[in-house]
Amino acid sequence: MKSPNNVPASIVTRNMSDFTHETGNVYESIAIISKRANQISVKLKEELNGKLAEFATTVDNLEEVFENREQIEISKHYERLPKPTNLAVEEFLEGKIHFRTPAAEEPAAE
Protein backbone atom coordinates (compact mmCIF):
# COMPACT_ATOMS: atom_id res chain seq x y z
CA MET A 1 0.00 0.00 0.00
CA LYS A 2 1.41 3.37 -0.93
CA SER A 3 1.38 6.10 1.66
CA PRO A 4 0.24 9.51 0.44
CA ASN A 5 2.77 12.23 1.12
CA ASN A 6 0.15 14.74 2.25
CA VAL A 7 -1.01 12.67 5.21
CA PRO A 8 0.44 13.89 8.49
CA ALA A 9 2.06 11.21 10.62
CA SER A 10 1.08 12.94 13.86
CA ILE A 11 -2.14 14.23 15.34
CA VAL A 12 -3.73 17.27 13.71
CA THR A 13 -6.51 19.40 15.18
CA ARG A 14 -9.60 19.15 12.99
CA ASN A 15 -12.69 21.30 12.66
CA MET A 16 -15.65 19.05 13.39
CA SER A 17 -17.87 20.86 10.91
CA ASP A 18 -15.60 19.59 8.10
CA PHE A 19 -16.89 16.09 8.81
CA THR A 20 -20.53 17.03 8.28
CA HIS A 21 -20.28 18.11 4.63
CA GLU A 22 -20.65 14.59 3.20
CA THR A 23 -23.20 13.10 5.56
CA GLY A 24 -24.77 15.95 7.50
CA ASN A 25 -24.01 14.09 10.72
CA VAL A 26 -20.70 14.06 12.60
CA TYR A 27 -21.37 10.66 14.17
CA GLU A 28 -22.20 9.02 10.86
CA SER A 29 -19.01 10.47 9.38
CA ILE A 30 -16.93 9.13 12.27
CA ALA A 31 -18.50 5.69 11.85
CA ILE A 32 -17.59 5.71 8.15
CA ILE A 33 -14.04 6.84 8.93
CA SER A 34 -13.61 4.14 11.57
CA LYS A 35 -14.79 1.40 9.21
CA ARG A 36 -12.35 2.61 6.55
CA ALA A 37 -9.54 2.79 9.11
CA ASN A 38 -10.23 -0.85 10.02
CA GLN A 39 -10.05 -1.82 6.33
CA ILE A 40 -6.73 0.00 5.92
CA SER A 41 -5.37 -1.56 9.12
CA VAL A 42 -6.24 -5.09 7.98
CA LYS A 43 -4.67 -4.48 4.58
CA LEU A 44 -1.45 -3.10 6.11
CA LYS A 45 -1.25 -5.98 8.57
CA GLU A 46 -1.66 -8.54 5.76
CA GLU A 47 1.09 -6.82 3.75
CA LEU A 48 3.44 -6.73 6.74
CA ASN A 49 2.78 -10.36 7.67
CA GLY A 50 3.30 -11.40 4.05
CA LYS A 51 6.66 -9.66 3.87
CA LEU A 52 7.79 -10.95 7.28
CA ALA A 53 6.68 -14.50 6.44
CA GLU A 54 9.51 -14.72 3.94
CA PHE A 55 11.97 -14.57 6.84
CA ALA A 56 10.08 -16.89 9.20
CA THR A 57 12.04 -19.76 10.70
CA THR A 58 10.81 -22.65 12.77
CA VAL A 59 13.13 -22.47 15.76
CA ASP A 60 12.04 -24.17 18.96
CA ASN A 61 14.96 -23.04 21.06
CA LEU A 62 14.82 -19.45 22.30
CA GLU A 63 18.60 -19.23 22.41
CA GLU A 64 18.86 -19.72 18.65
CA VAL A 65 16.73 -16.69 17.77
CA PHE A 66 18.76 -14.12 15.87
CA GLU A 67 18.09 -10.68 14.47
CA ASN A 68 17.40 -10.41 10.80
CA ARG A 69 18.32 -7.00 9.39
CA GLU A 70 15.72 -7.17 6.62
CA GLN A 71 12.91 -7.92 9.08
CA ILE A 72 13.93 -4.97 11.21
CA GLU A 73 13.99 -2.61 8.24
CA ILE A 74 10.58 -3.78 7.02
CA SER A 75 9.11 -3.34 10.50
CA LYS A 76 10.58 0.14 10.85
CA HIS A 77 9.15 1.12 7.47
CA TYR A 78 5.65 0.13 8.57
CA GLU A 79 6.08 1.90 11.91
CA ARG A 80 6.90 5.17 10.11
CA LEU A 81 3.77 5.04 7.94
CA PRO A 82 0.84 7.28 8.92
CA LYS A 83 -1.67 5.55 11.15
CA PRO A 84 -4.73 4.01 9.46
CA THR A 85 -7.01 6.51 11.19
CA ASN A 86 -5.08 9.44 9.75
CA LEU A 87 -5.22 7.88 6.28
CA ALA A 88 -8.98 7.30 6.61
CA VAL A 89 -9.63 10.87 7.78
CA GLU A 90 -7.69 12.29 4.84
CA GLU A 91 -9.52 10.02 2.39
CA PHE A 92 -12.87 11.07 3.84
CA LEU A 93 -12.10 14.79 3.74
CA GLU A 94 -10.82 14.50 0.15
CA GLY A 95 -13.99 12.65 -0.91
CA LYS A 96 -12.17 9.43 -1.79
CA ILE A 97 -14.38 7.19 0.37
CA HIS A 98 -17.49 5.88 -1.29
CA PHE A 99 -20.22 4.84 1.12
CA ARG A 100 -23.87 4.15 1.04
CA THR A 101 -26.54 4.09 3.66
CA PRO A 102 -29.09 1.33 3.55
CA ALA A 103 -32.48 2.56 2.42
CA ALA A 104 -35.30 2.39 4.89
CA GLU A 105 -36.62 -1.13 4.80
CA GLU A 106 -39.82 -1.41 2.85
CA PRO A 107 -42.47 -3.90 3.86
CA ALA A 108 -42.15 -7.07 1.85
CA ALA A 109 -44.86 -7.48 -0.77
CA GLU A 110 -46.56 -10.81 -0.56
Q: Quick: pLDDT tens for 38-78.
A: 999 999 999 999 988 887 766 655 555 566 788 888 889 99
Q: Percent of the chain scored above 70 by pLDDT?
A: 74
**CA separation for the pair 72, 39 (Å, rounded):** 25
**CA separation for the pair 80, 76 (Å, rounded):** 6
Label residues 80-95 b or e (16+ Cβ within 10 Å = b): ebbbbbbbbbbbbbee
pTM above 0.85, yes or no: no
| pLDDT tops 90 at residue 32 | yes
DSSP state letter for 9: S
Contact 36, 97 (CB under 8 A): yes
DSSP state letter for 87: H
DSSP state letter for 18: G
**CA separation for the pair 8, 6 (Å, rounded):** 6
3-state secondary structure of 3: coil
